[in-house]
A and B are shown apart, each in its own frame.
Chain A
Amino acid sequence: MTDPKNPPNLGSPTTIDARGLMCPAPVIELAKAAAELGEGVIELLADDPAAETDVPAWCRMRDVRLVARERHADSMRYIIVV
């Protein structure tokens, strides 16, 4: 968990491009990246509609923060702080 008063540098996130992957693959890729990273910021791109439910739920269950959700033309962009 991150101190909300001192957000980490959002400028250099680890990017996971999960576009084209269907559930549960986007969440598995996210979890693998989180485990590898230990601490930091992850940018996840996903176009599976199920990810819109599953990414926030994963963050809640794993007790990490979903700081942004942006709808782009072809996908959603999630910013996660682990």
Chain B
Amino acid sequence: MSASATGATPDHAGSAPIASNLDRYLDAASGLPMSAATQEALNAGWNLGWADASRRYQSAAQSRRLLDSARNSVAHRLGISAAGIFFLPDFEVAFELALSGFTDHQVAVSTVEDAALLREVDRHSHQGARVQTLDVSPSGHIDWKTAAALTELGPTAFVVQDVNLEIGCRQPLESLAQAAGKDAALIVDARATLGRDQVTADWDVLLSDPRIWGGPPGCALLAVRAPDKFTAPRTSVGGFGGLEPASPPVPLVAACALALEAAEAQESDTAAVSTYLRTEVLQRIDACEVVGEPDSSFITMFSFLYVAADELIDELAQLGWSCASGASCTSDTRRPHHVLTEVGASSHGSLRISLPPGFPHVQAEAFAADLTAVVMKLRREAGAPSA
């Protein structure tokens, strides 16, 4: 695409080849860079959508049109009305709002949810809400029968990622929704699915972070299937039904919507490459396991015994590879990631691989070779026993 191209359309982004610096990027679950088309949309947004959308003059009407069009686009993709689409400044704010829409429900949350969400649920419980904890199996899955039985205690809002962002496991949310019936509300953290995979069908509230589908930072999506039944407190100053900030960042919202269109238009299936990579790594490296979902198409968590994850990540970074870990030595708290603890996985040599859409097979081959060499080297240096 030429740098001087104007007029951002999803077609541009959809057909754009994977940026060369992404062919060693294995942390797509943390975010993707904005495509040239999304950046152009953002730039256009600063010109077209600078005015306060709540005012009554022409430039405000222009902002409003951009906002409405963005909302309509996202709503269409999710199969709900635009009245249920909200853009909030960040993911935690969006989640806080999601919870406040179900004050008459008890909250059931799985132990492998995002740490920030667990903190927020904890705060909710200190404010008097009844909170139930859903334990998970060694593969990270909730038991949907046990979970559904919680509705016998009263209406229940379930907080669950449809696909776990750390260990890739897909939760049985369809079964849960079916078994729990109308007394259940599903608050789904769909960051690992929206824009690249099938989002679980039965959500009542859906949350996502546009950075993961190549949108700009500073914007989180909250989608509500039945906004008229959603009891979150409205403010008189807030925009769009009183749920959003008074003046939403129109250019960011417009760019988020365009990036989502582009992401969905793109062939993002990484299942074959993901399977290849897992098989290859398990074959080449001993004392190693896949944590969580054994056949995830997007996120794979490996655990290598006798390897310090910080050294592993740094050595791979030296070779140009970008990966994440859940080990204590890569965290500020010096504690292993709670998801790894919950599923009983060894954390010290944990390595999370999340493939960007269109990740080339030949690069997966190169990565498997580099990873094998680095793990062997680190084990040798640490004096690890041959397994």
Contacts and interface: CB of A to CB of B under 8 A. Distances in A.
A32 B305 contact: no
B327 to A, nearest CB: 7
B106 interface: no
The size class of the interface chain A forms with chain B is: 20 to 34
B348 A54 contact: yes
A60 B328 contact: no
B348 to A, nearest CB: 4
A50 B348 contact: yes
A37 B247 CA distance: 68
B340 interface: yes
Interface in B345-365: 345-349
A79 interface: no
A49 to B, nearest CB: 5
A50 B305 contact: no
A22 B309 CA distance: 12
B235 to A, nearest CB: 42
A55 to B, nearest CB: 9
A57 B344 contact: yes
Contacts of B383: 28, 32
Interface residues of B, number: 26
Given A49-B335, A53-B345, A54-B347, A27 B306 contact: yes
Contacts of A34: 385
A31 interface: yes
A60 B328 CA distance: 20
B384 interface: yes
Nearest to B349: A24
Given A22-B329, A32-B385, A57 B335 contact: no
B366 interface: no
7 contacts: A24-B382, A27-B306, A31-B385, A32-B384, A35-B385, A50-B348, A53-B341
